Amino acid sequence: MAEPATMSRPGLVGDPATAGDLYGAAAEFYDLLAAPAWARLGPLLRRALEGVDPAHGPLLDVGAGTGLATEAAAEAVPGVRVLAVEPSAGMRIALATRLAGRPALADRVTVTAGTLHDVHLPRRLCAAVVLGVVGHLDPAERAALWRLLSERLAPGAPAVVDVLDRTAPPTGAPLRLATRRVGDLDYESWSEGADDGWTLTYRVRDGERVVREHAVPLPWSGVGIATVAEEAAAAGLVCTPLAPDFAVLRTTTPVTREETS
C-alpha cells in the first residue's frame, strides 16, 4: 500500500458494509513503484516466516492487495496454501493478473473478495500476514483481529504485522517516495502527512507536464508497536519486534507434531 505494502481498508476486520475501495485508484501504480518498500520488507517477511510448517494449515494474508506479500510468503514457505483476503476490486484485478502469470502460485492461493467476515477459516492457520492493515483499524477492530489470530494460529505460529506504511512516512511536507520510467513517461508516488493519516499521490509525467494524477487519502491511526504488543497480550499473543515498525505475534505454546496428526 505499499505505497502500503499490502493495500487494506477500514472494515477489513469489522462490518463488511463499511469496507471501501480506498486503494482502487492506486492499483495501476502499486507494483510499478513498490521496489523501494519491498527491498526492505521482503527480507523482514522471510525472516518472520522462517520455520513455518504448512502442515499446520494454510497461511492467511489479510489485505493481500496486488499479491506482493502473497507471493513472497508462498516463496518463503514452500508448499503452503494461502487464503488471500482483499476487498478492493482494483487490487484484486492486479492480484488475479499476478496469479494468471504464475500457475504454480495460482494452484496454492484462494482469493476472497471481501473482508474477514467473508472468509471460511479453518480451525488452524500455520501463519498470518497482516501488512498495511493495523493503522486502518479502530481499537475494537484490532481487538477482534488479535482474538481471531490467537484462536486460529497453530501454537507458536507467527502473525506478521506492521504499524506504519514504510513508503509513506507521516511528514507534513510532500515527499517523493519512488519514481520509475515506463516507456516515454515517468511514474511517481508522493506522500503528504496529516494528524490522522496521509495522502498518497500518484503522478504520470511527460517531461515536466503532468498527464495524469490520482490522490488517495488514507486514514491511519498512528498506532505503534508498543500498543500492538499491549493489545495482543490481552488476547494471549506475544509480540517480538523485528524493526521499529514491524513485528511478529505468536501464541505462547510451541506447536507439537502430535497436535497436527
Chain segment 89-127, per-residue pLDDT in tens: 999 999 999 999 999 999 999 999 988 888 889 999 999
Residues 155 and 240 in one domain: yes
Neighbours of 21 (CB within 10 A): 16
Angle in degrees, CA 31, 7, 109, rounded to 5: 80
- Give 10-67 pLDDT, tens digit per residue: 345 443 333 457 777 788 999 999 988 899 999 999 999 999 999 999 999 999 999 9
Res. 79: pLDDT tops 70: yes
d(CA 112, CA 121): 11
Q: pLDDT-derived band of residue 253, with 50, 70 and 90 as boundaries?
A: low
The structural domain count of the chain equals 2
Q: Does residue 206 share a domain with residue 146? A: no
Query: For cell 517477511, what's the residue?
Result: 45
Q: Is the CB of residue 233 less than 8 Å from the CB of residue 225?
A: no
Which has the higher per-residue pLDDT, 219 or 12? 219
- Rounded to whole angstroms, the Cα distance separating 139 from 30 reads 28
Going 5 to 8 to 9 to 14, the CA torsion angle's sign is negative
The one-character DSSP state at 207 is T
Assigned C-alpha cell, 153: 494460529
Question: Does residue 4 belong to any structural domain of this protein?
Answer: no
Position with higher pLDDT, 145 vs 219 = 145
pLDDT band, very low/low/confident/very high, at 170 (cuts 50, 70, 90) = low
Using one digit for the tens of pLDDT, what is the confidence trace for 117-167? 888 899 999 999 999 899 889 999 999 999 999 999 999 999 999 987 554
112 shares a domain with 239:
yes
Residue at 10 is within a domain = no
Residues 115 and 233 in one domain: yes
CA distance 14 to 116: 8
Residue with cell 505468536: 250
CA quadruple 178, 41, 60, 189: dihedral, nearest 10: -10
Radius of gyration of the chain (CA): 18
DSSP 246: E
Range of the domain at 245: 16-167+222-260
CA–CA dist 142, 234 (Å, integer): 11
150/186 same-domain check: no
DSSP per-residue letters across 129-158: EE-S-GGGS-HHHHHHHHHHHHHHBPTT-E
Give the lowest-confidence range in 76-80, 229-233, 251-255.
251-255
Residue closest to 135 by CA, chosen among 159, 160, 164, 115: 164
Inter-CA distances, 248 with 28, 56, 119, 241, Å: 30, 18, 23, 6
Residue at 70: amino acid letter: T
Query: Are 76 and 149 members of one domain?
Result: yes
User: Domain check: are 46 and 125 in the same one?
Assistant: yes
DSSP-based three-state secondary structure for 83:
strand
Residue 197 has what pLDDT?
75
Task: Find the helix packing angle between 68-76 and 89-100, rounded to 10°.
Answer: 40
